[in-house]
Amino acid sequence: MSASTPATLSPSALQGVRVVEMGQLIAGPFCGKTLAEFGADVVKIEPPGSGDPLRQWRLIKDGTSVWWQVQSRNKRSVALDLRQTEGQQLARDLIAQADVLIENFRPGTLEGWGLSPEALMALNPRLVMVRISGYGQTGPYRDLPGFGAIGEAMGGLRHLTGEPGRVPVRVGVSIGDTLAALHATIGVMMALYHRDQRGGRGQVIDVALHEAVFNVMESLLPEYSAFGAVREAAGSALPGIAPSNAYRCQDGYVLVAGNGDSIFKRLMDVIGRPDLGADPGLAGNTGRVERVAELDAAIEAWTMGRSVQQVLQALGGARVPAGKVYTVADIAADPHFRARDMILQQQTREGYSVEVPGVVPKLSATPGTVRQAAPRLGEDTDAVLQEMGLSAQQIAQLREKGIVA
């Protein structure tokens, strides 16, 4: 199995960090995935029988979603019924030995199982507890159900997607969940650093989906506060920054970012409009924004007479940032992705090989790796419980009661 860097015995950045993942679907498990790729021992607790619903999402091969092969690689699976008192106690015992707990249930769920932050941190004062939810653990909306799509809408992203005056569209992936997961991962790193270098105690990380989206909305709020400006959808353009858009070619579209002052001049030379490049009124972004329609028309008049490859070759030679709109087929065939180990061959537990994304970010001394394939449901139940000190007989008794599987 390939790694994001050539296989070595390099130490992992998070080697020795023990994580219990109690989330499901996307946000919590993506956080766990990221920690696992950099060496954390991530034990994923799943309900017996069904497991994480992601196992059956989207395209299925040999009974399991191929998405699962990415989201749960490097993790260990323990099938544990948290609705039963004994199952809750086993979770409590496992968390007592952990550095990090990840959960993305609706607020109050853990408290109902006797697994509140107060109870868990009394057992394990060093615990870093990550709580990801739609609206956060406080506030008037805390008890409402919230998925990533709702967080994207509330955070302001959906209002800006699509064409002006048309139905708002989604990005195409669950970006709200992933943004929340990345914020959670950042929180884990800061909390572990503080615990180990400053205070010695853990803390609770409260991540709301809509806040994670809102945090990346750039100038949205200050522009409204200062000018009363409500930013609207603008298709492929980048309002307030010009020229930057998607332009039609003979066989597709090319994205061109000619908004730097010197880049703009080089772009105008390439398209045969040095007059615009020399125009004092277009020397800065403010002037270009005022005449963006004129500039877009000039650029597209040039691109429409050429193929995508011809446009990219000409703009690349002039050091103007430009790129084609990639499909996954383009990604899979691109030598740059493969040169940077961003497409890996992964052998699954089901016995087939599948290509999966590599690991980011790239660390020079402690790179992330794919050490093992995504687990079958409950594959590691016995091993984890034995590490906790349970005997084979005790585990068999728990299995007879349906508490573990």
Percentage of the residues of the chain whose pLDDT score is greater than 70: 98
Distance between CA 175 and CA 219 in Å, rounded? Answer: 19
Of the options 3.30.1540.10, 3.40.50.10860, 3.40.50.300, 3.40.630.30, the CATH number for the domain spanning 244-325: 3.30.1540.10
Of 63, 99, 210, which is closest to residue 151 (Cα–Cα)? 210
Architecture of domain 18-216+335-400: 3-Layer(aba) Sandwich (3.40)
Q: Would residue 341 show up in a list of annotated catalytic residues for this protein? A: no
pLDDT digits (tens, 9 = 90+) for 211-269: 999 999 999 999 999 999 999 999 998 899 999 999 999 999 999 999 999 999 999 99
pLDDT of residue 114: 96
Is 231 in contact with 241 (CB distance < 8 Å)? Answer: no
In 47-166 the beta strands, taken as DSSP E runs, fall at 60-61, 64-65, 75-79, 100-103, 128-133
Query: How far is it, in rounded angstroms, from Cα 172 to Cα 190?
Result: 30
- pLDDT, one tens digit per residue, over 74-90 is 999 999 999 999 999 99
Q: Is the pLDDT of residue 356 over 70?
A: yes
According to the model, what pLDDT value does residue 1 have? Answer: 42
Q: Is the model's pLDDT at 7 over the cut of 90?
A: no
Each residue's pLDDT tens digit, 93-105? 999 999 999 999 9
Element (H, E) at 17: none
Average pLDDT, rounded, for the chain = 95
pLDDT given at position 216: 97
Q: Averaged over 22-28, what is the pLDDT?
A: 95
Point out which residues pair with 341 in neighbouring strands: none
Distances (CA, A) of 311 to 36, 260, 264, 265: 41, 19, 15, 16
Catalytic residue among 99, 177, 206, 296: 177
Above 90 in pLDDT, residue 10?
no
CB contact at 8 A, 404 and 395 = yes
Does position 8 have pLDDT exceeding 70, yes or no? Answer: no
pLDDT at 282: 97
Instruction: Express each pLDDT in 31-64 by its tens digit.
Output: 999 999 999 999 999 999 999 999 999 999 999 9
pLDDT for res 9? 52
Residue 2 has pLDDT above 90, yes or no: no
How do residues 118-141 score in pLDDT, each as one tens digit?
999 999 999 999 999 999 999 999
pTM value? 0.93
pLDDT at 142 > cutoff 90? yes
Per the listing, tokens 């496992």 go with: 94
Cα separation, 380 vs 88, in Å, equals 18
Between CA 322 and CA 337 the distance in angstroms is: 17
Domain boundaries, the chain: 18-216+335-400, 244-325
Question: What tens digit of pLDDT does each residue of 160-181 get?
Answer: 999 999 999 989 999 999 999 9
When computed from its CA atoms, the radius of gyration of the chain, rounded to whole angstroms, is 25
The per-residue pLDDT for range 390-404, each reduced to its tens digit, is 999 999 999 999 999
SS3 call for 361: coil
